[in-house]
């Protein structure tokens, strides 16, 4: 598959980078794509939310009201969940485990599906390596390729300090390394910009030899 390339200034280049059809033009497996996103999001949860039970709430031990003669139901503790300020019944305990597992091969297949689903939104721009640390100049070149409102994912092998400084403060621009690229980032992006080095890295990482 031919990927559209751009020059340093953001203009279209005459030579196109060829990306493997096994990655950039594969059949999209939607169920696997959905599963991969679910696994990723579940594994981001810390599971540390916690509430106090009626045994952990510190309140007066005084009886709410008299046992008999009021016409109301019998109550002996203000810590009961039915009272404001009482403990919470069946709430999170702080030891929840939301982790889900997915094999490496399935993760790779899901990532391939995500990339192929976004193939028309992927651009190759080697000018990223030549940014000089000026956000204004980086924005001028970048916004020739994408709209300011687009969620743009920038993928590189490694970010030089000058490149990182140029891009980090741009609105709706997200940065990631090729080795850490995941299905959720790809699926969430409106536009994806990578270097030709990243294309080769993805092919080496995802294609079985």
Give residue-wise pLDDT tens across range 116-127.
999 999 999 888
**Would you state the pLDDT for residue 69?**
93
Residues 81 and 113 both lie in one domain: no
DSSP structure class, residue 7:
-
- Supply the range of the domain harboring residue 178: 2-45+99-206
pLDDT tens across 58-72, in order?
998 889 899 999 999
The pTM for the full model equals: 0.81
Does the pLDDT value for residue 2 go beyond 90?
A: no
User: pLDDT at residue 10 above 80?
Assistant: no
Residue 32 CA neighbour count, 13 Å, CB half? 18
Query: Do residues 113 and 29 touch, judged by C-beta distance below 8 A?
Result: yes
Domain count within the chain: 2
pLDDT of residue 15 exceeding 60: no
pLDDT at 6: 74
| Residue (of 169, 167, 171) closest to 159 by Cα position | 167
Indicate whether 138 and 184 sit together in one domain. yes
Residues 103 and 150 in one domain: yes
Same domain assignment for residues 142 and 173? yes
**Is pLDDT above 90 for 55?**
yes
Same structural domain for residues 92 and 103?
no
Domain boundary among 76, 97, 118: 97
Same domain membership, residue 67 and residue 160: no
Q: What is the mean pLDDT of the chain?
A: 90
- pLDDT for position 207: 85
Statement to judge: residues 135 and 179 lie in one domain: yes
Domain match, 68 and 141 both: no
For the stretch 150-207, pLDDT in tens is: 999 999 999 989 999 999 999 999 999 999 999 999 999 999 999 999 999 999 999 8
Q: Supply 80's token pair.
A: 């009961």
Q: How far is C-alpha 145 from the chain's CA centre?
A: 23
List the one residue out of 49, 113, 107, 60 whose CA is nearest residue 83: 60
- Who contacts 11 (Cβ-Cβ below 8 Å, separation ≥6)? 144
- What is the pLDDT at residue 21? 87
- Both 122 and 33 in a single domain? yes
Q: Which of 33, 68, 97 is the last residue of a domain?
A: 97
Task: Find residue 17's DSSP bridge partners.
Answer: 3
Of the three residues 62, 97, 132, the one that is the final residue of a domain is 97
Task: Note whether 74 and 140 are same-domain residues.
Answer: no
What SS3 class is residue 174? strand
Any idea what the CATH number is for the domain that residue 123 is in? 3.40.1370.10
171 plus 127 within the same structural domain:
yes
pLDDT at 202: 93
Joined tokens for residue 125: 């721009």
Q: Give the contacts of 102 (CB within 8 A, at least 6 positions apart).
A: 35, 36, 39, 110
How many residues appear in the chain? 209
One domain, residues 105 and 150: yes
Closest CA to 134 of 175, 166, 170, 169: 166
């Amino acid at each position: 598959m031919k990927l559209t390339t751009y020059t340093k200034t953001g203009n279209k280049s005459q030579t196109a980078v060829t990306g493997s059809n096994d990655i950039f033009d594969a059949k999209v497996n939607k169920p696997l794509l959905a599963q991969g996103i679910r696994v990723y999001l579940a594994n981001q949860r810390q599971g540390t939310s916690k509430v106090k039970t009626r045994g952990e709430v510190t309140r007066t031990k005084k009886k709410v009201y008299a046992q008999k003669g009021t016409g109301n139901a019998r109550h002996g503790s203000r810590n009961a969940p039915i009272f404001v300020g009482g403990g919470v019944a069946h709430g999170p305990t702080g030891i929840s485990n939301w982790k889900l597992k997915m094999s490496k091969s399935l993760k790779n297949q899901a990532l391939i599906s995500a990339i192929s689903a976004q193939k028309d939104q992927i651009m190759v721009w080697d000018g990223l390596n030549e940014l000089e640390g000026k956000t204004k100049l980086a924005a001028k070149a970048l916004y020739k390729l994408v709209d300011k409102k687009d969620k743009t994912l920038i993928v590189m092998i490694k970010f030089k300090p000058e490149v990182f400084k140029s891009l980090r403060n741009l609105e709706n621009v997200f940065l990631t390394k090729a080795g850490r690229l995941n299905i959720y980032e790809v699926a969430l992006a409106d536009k994806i910009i990578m270097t030709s080095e990243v294309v080769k890295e993805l092919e080496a990482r995802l294609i079985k030899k």
